[in-house]
Amino acid sequence: MTIIFNSIKASNIKINVTIQHILLLSRLSANITRKTREREREGWWWGWGIELQRKLKTLLPNLEAAGKFLVVLFF
């Protein structure tokens, strides 16, 4: 009885993981499709520049905070 219950439980976990992977892959696919359309509209170099700008906007505040921390640490 216990063995059957454990195998059913294990198969449910596998099914849940599979469904989660499918959902994740569909979201990734949608993001890739959306970004591809944006780049086609804006031109590849322009789209690449916008993507770099977005990454820098998220990175710069972190670098600024790290720089302030280092200034406080060394002085």
Q: Could you tell me if 52 and 22 lie in one domain?
A: no
Q: What is the rounded CA–CA span in Å between residue 46 and residue 38? A: 10
Residue 74, pLDDT above cutoff 60: no
* DSSP H or E run through 6: helix 2-42
pTM of the model: 0.33
Residues 6+ apart with CB under 8 A from 41: 47
Q: Could you tell me if 16 and 52 lie in one domain?
A: no
Q: Could you tell me if 24 and 51 lie in one domain?
A: no
pLDDT range class, residue 4, cuts 50, 70, 90: low
Query: Which pLDDT value is given to residue 46?
Result: 59
Residue 13, pLDDT above cutoff 60: no
Count structural domains, the chain: 2
Q: Could you tell me if 7 and 38 lie in one domain?
A: yes
Query: Which pLDDT value is given to residue 18?
Result: 64
Show the domain range for 6: 1-42
Residues 6+ apart with CB under 8 A from 46: 39
Give the tens place of pLDDT for each residue, 17-64.
566 666 777 777 777 777 777 766 666 555 566 677 777 677 666 666
Q: Could you tell me if 53 and 31 lie in one domain?
A: no
DSSP states of 13-49 as a string? HHHHHHHHHHHHHHHHHHHHHHHHHHHHHH-HHHHHH
